[in-house]
Structure 1
Amino acid sequence: MPDVMVGRIGRPHGLRGDVTVAVSTDDPDTRFAPGSVLDSDRGPLTVAARRRSGGALVLRFEGVEDRDAAEALRGTALSVAAETLPEVDDPDEFYDHQLVGLAVRHADGRALGEVIDVWHPPASPVLLVRRPDGTEEAVPFVRALVPTVDLAGGFLVVEPPDGMFG
């Protein structure tokens, strides 16, 4: 199973090695608890401390002792193994990694493309779909537009409004 991104390290915070983290998990208290080990392209990082500063999540990792070491981590993606994620009880909720790679079909059966990314703006999630011609279409991930998600079948159905996929 693939790794699932749970955050990205931002700017240093202070002089002692703390960093801000852009969170991309719905369970930051568990994922970023002290002692948690997160995967990264720089190797495993162990959370030594966690706190909030205003609205920002601030972490300190073991072995990151100063601002220069914290700056070196800027932009690093933090992930966990997908198999460590809890099962989702709600049939209308999905992890991003479950959606990426699904074939996208029109309600009439036509192939529209493939999900290549999931964005999380403030409103509802948005699926980024690569069309067969290589162009991309952003599809709000709401039931009115995406009535069917068939993980076992490897596809989802989109009922696009006029102009979408046009």
Structure 2
Amino acid sequence: IRRELKERCFNCNENIGFKIKNIKYIISSKDNIVLKANTPLPKNGTCVHYKKSYRWFRFPCCNKLYPCDVCHDDNNSKNHLYSVSSNCGLCDVKYTGKSSGYMANIMVCGFCSLEQSVKKECKCGMNMKKNTMYWEGGKGMRNKQSMSRKDSKKYKK
């Protein structure tokens, strides 16, 4: 299979072409996980790699649920590889090697087990990322009464 794909370079945004040299097809098996509506996932969807992410992802390559991309790659390291080679003429960046290359396109809420497209918030109203008690560069907690006393921003005016 000599299929050519057109993409843009991540570095200079120039059009480049990719040729997939080989593809290995593997028959995927069904998940052992049964989703029940309005019941939480185990550990509310967290894993050892991302303890503040309350969702699981369904990957299109194997159609299985995993808590994160690292868990997916660890469990399927030899089955999900394809070879890609190309280079960008303007910035001399080479795209070669083997990669899992799959991004999840469906998420499962850790609180209600609802399958939906990947978003920050679920349809049930829960936020998929845990908020912390620290400033985090303005993206975290902003209420000074609820902030951790160890955060230096709590006492600044």
| TM-score interval, smaller chain | under 0.3
Q: Which structure has the bigger radius of gyration?
A: 2
Higher relative contact order, structure no. (Cα contacts within 8 Å, ≥ 6 residues apart) = 2
